[in-house]
């Protein structure tokens, strides 16, 4: 048997600031057989400039970028509830921090994993903060050159921090012809590490194919409804497709086998009929 593929349901900001929606998404991840749910943590005033936050953006939460960003950002009360609820449901959670304060915030929880978002791959001070924790870290490689990935990998190697790269194309939704899944074995060969896939496409076939090409983890955004408000909703899996994807991944794990040439009992019976021995 091939090894277990670690499946993460990325809730991100698809909860729209609503804990009821968040709990429902966690429930669906559990029912689908996912290994973890994931969020995004930002300190709004550290990640964005005042000029940007004061600029116009129409949303259900107001008419500025600040109102939109703050409405989607969970604080300690919400993360305490996420931590409690995930423990109750028996599923792991973790988050990608977009600034040092957010990484410090996440340290108050007993998380097994860290995540480096593609946008943060070149933020070396943040990478050093993450790597010094020595938790197994998923590193998304979207928008990044080999030189940039080289530098990020060196940070985690210098700290002796276990990591897994994730092939990723940072378009939302990603055109299927841009998947370039051959990068999965290419990254594995170049860096000598496990390589997963973080997808922003619609549908399931690319993520399933990634497993067939050796991806050891899959991360996909999930939503209750693709038509809900939010920049990530269209590139997310609805709950039915999430369940089907996890089923597909577990089937591919069986199909791949262990690569050893062994004649099965049924094949031996067929050989006896066709060859006489």
**What phi-psi label fits residue 33: left (phi over 0), alpha (psi between -120 and 50 degrees) or beta?**
left
Classify burial at 130, counting beta carbons within 10 Å of its beta carbon; exposed 0-12, middle 13-18, buried 19 or more.
Answer: buried
Residue 88, CA atoms < 13 Å, CB-side half-sphere: 9
Cα(236)–Cα(9) distance, integer angstroms? 10
Task: Give the pLDDT score at 114.
Answer: 98
How do the pLDDT tens digits run along the chain, 277 residues long? 568 999 999 999 999 999 999 999 999 999 999 999 999 999 999 999 999 999 999 999 999 999 999 999 999 999 999 999 999 999 999 999 999 999 999 999 999 999 999 999 999 999 999 999 999 999 999 999 999 999 999 999 999 999 999 999 999 999 999 999 999 999 999 999 999 999 999 999 999 999 999 999 999 999 999 999 999 999 999 999 999 999 999 999 999 998 999 999 999 999 999 999 9
* The model's pTM: 0.95
List the Cα angle 13/18/21 in 5-degree steps.
Answer: 85
Domains of the chain: 6-275 (3.20.20.70)
CB neighbour burial string for 142-154, b if at least 16 within 10 angstroms, e if fewer: bebeeeebeebbe
Task: Sort strands 62-64 and 56-59 into parallel, antiparallel or unpaired.
Answer: antiparallel
CA 85 from centroid of its chain's CA atoms: 20
Per-residue pLDDT at 1: 53
**Pair 129, 105: CB distance under 8 Å:** no
């Amino acid at each position: 048997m091939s090894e277990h593929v670690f499946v993460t349901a990325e809730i991100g900001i698809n909860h729209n600031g609503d804990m009821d929606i968040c709990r429902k998404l966690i429930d669906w991840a559990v029912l689908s057989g996912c290994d973890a749910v994931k969020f995004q943590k930002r300190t709004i005033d550290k990640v964005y400039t005042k000029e940007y936050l004061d600029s116009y953006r129409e949303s259900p939460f107001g008419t500025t970028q600040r109102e939109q960003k703050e409405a989607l950002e969970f604080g300690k009360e919400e993360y305490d509830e996420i931590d409690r609820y995930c423990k109750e449901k028996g599923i792991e959670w973790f988050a990608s921090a977009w600034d040092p304060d957010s990484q410090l915030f996440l340290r108050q929880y007993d998380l097994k994993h860290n995540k480096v978002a593609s946008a943060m791959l070149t933020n070396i001070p943040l990478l050093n903060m993450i790597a010094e924790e020595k938790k197994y870290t998923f590193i998304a490689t979207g928008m990044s050159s080999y030189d940039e990935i080289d530098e990020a990998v060196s940070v985690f190697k210098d700290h002796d921090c276990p990591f897994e790269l994730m092939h990723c194309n940072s378009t939302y939704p990603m055109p299927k012809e841009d998947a370039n899944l051959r990068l999965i074995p290419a990254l594995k060969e170049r860096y000598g590490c496990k390589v997963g896939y973080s997808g922003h496409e619609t549908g399931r076939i690319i993520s399933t194919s990634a497993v067939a090409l050796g991806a050891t983890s899959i991360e996909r955004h999930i939503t209750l409804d693709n038509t809900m408000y939010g920049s990530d909703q269209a590139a997310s899996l609805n709950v039915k497709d999430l369940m089907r994807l996890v089923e597909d991944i577990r089937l591919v794990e069986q199909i791949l086998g262990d690569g050893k040439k062994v004649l099965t009992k049924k094949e031996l019976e067929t050989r006896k009929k066709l060859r006489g021995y």
